[in-house]
Amino acid sequence: MKNILIIATDGFEQSELMKPKSILEDAGAKTTVASLEEGTIKGWDDGNWGESVTVDMTVENVNADDYDALLLPGGQINPDVLRMNKTVIETICEFNRQSKPVAAICHAPWLLIEADIVTDKTVTSWPSLRTDLSNAGATVVDREVAVDGNIITSRNPSDIPAFTQALQDAMSMRTKLEAA
């Protein structure tokens, strides 16, 4: 069974956490939601506060060794808050150092910029982040999913099926390489 860490806080784009989480769990994965504080976090859904999600642990208690991949949902508020947290950025860097899949959708590539892991990578995102990504040294494309090594990015909620499939494919490929 694959273990997938999801890092989010209040203001995550509801569909970008809930739909991939559901798809991955339906495929047999175990997901863990980590956030800045214990309790629950509230999604953002179509211009209003949405559903709450239970936090399984705080980011301070995360050990990247315990997970096969990292999922970073977007929304404007969520990644903007998370990118200011040193532990969140260190955790993203650790997943990257271990060459584990790091999947970021919509505004979540802001976190990849803050972690300094997009230089010379081909990525995509919500349109308003594309200049930021380019300035950070990434090659920016406009397509539903971009995969470059262990970095997986997508633009928006309509890309969730391709985004989640790319994450599943990356985990499968990693398993095959580790078994070889």
Q: What is the number of residues in the chain?
A: 180
The Cα–Cα gap between 9 and 179 comes to 35
In this prediction, residues 93-100 reach a mean pLDDT of: 98
DSSP-assigned beta bridge partners for residue 153: 104, 146
Question: What pLDDT, on the 0 to 100 scale, is given for residue 148?
Answer: 98
- The backbone torsions φ and ψ at residue 68, rounded to the nearest 5 degrees and listed phi first, read -95, -20
The predicted pLDDT at position 12 comes to: 98
- Write down the catalytic residue from 2, 107, 130, 155: 107
Sorted by sequence, the CB contacts under 8 Å of residue 50 that are 6+ apart come out as: 14, 42, 43, 44
The model's confidence at residue 179, banded by pLDDT at 50, 70 and 90, is confident
The catalytically annotated residue of 18, 70, 106, 166 is: 106
Of the candidates 6, 108, 85, the one whose C-alpha atom is nearest the C-alpha of residue 53 is 6
pTM greater than the 0.85 cutoff: yes
CB 67 within 8 A of CB 57: no
pLDDT band, very low/low/confident/very high, at 13 (cuts 50, 70, 90)? very high
Q: 36-89, pLDDT tens digit by residue?
A: 999 999 999 999 999 999 999 999 999 999 999 999 999 999 999 999 999 999
Mean pLDDT of 14-43: 97
pLDDT single digits (tens) 102-140: 999 999 999 999 999 999 999 999 999 999 999 999 999
Active site residue 106: yes
Give all domains of the chain, ordered by start, each with its CATH number: 3-179 (3.40.50.880)
Instruction: Work out the angle between the directed axes of helices 160-179 and 14-26 (0-180°, nearest 10).
Output: 40
Whether the predicted pLDDT of 90 surpasses 90: yes
Distance CA 107, CA 13 (A): 9
- State the sign of the Cα–Cα–Cα–Cα dihedral 70, 72, 12, 90: positive
What is the radius of gyration, based on Cα positions, of the chain? Answer: 15
Contact 42, 10 (CB under 8 A): yes
Q: Give the pLDDT band of residue 178 (cuts 50, 70, 90).
A: confident
**Residue 113 structure tokens:** 């910029």
State the Cα–Cα distance between residues 69 and 19, nearest whole angstrom. Answer: 16
DSSP 138: P
Query: What is the predicted pLDDT for the residue at 28?
Result: 95
Decide: 136 and 110 in contact? Cβ < 8 Å: no
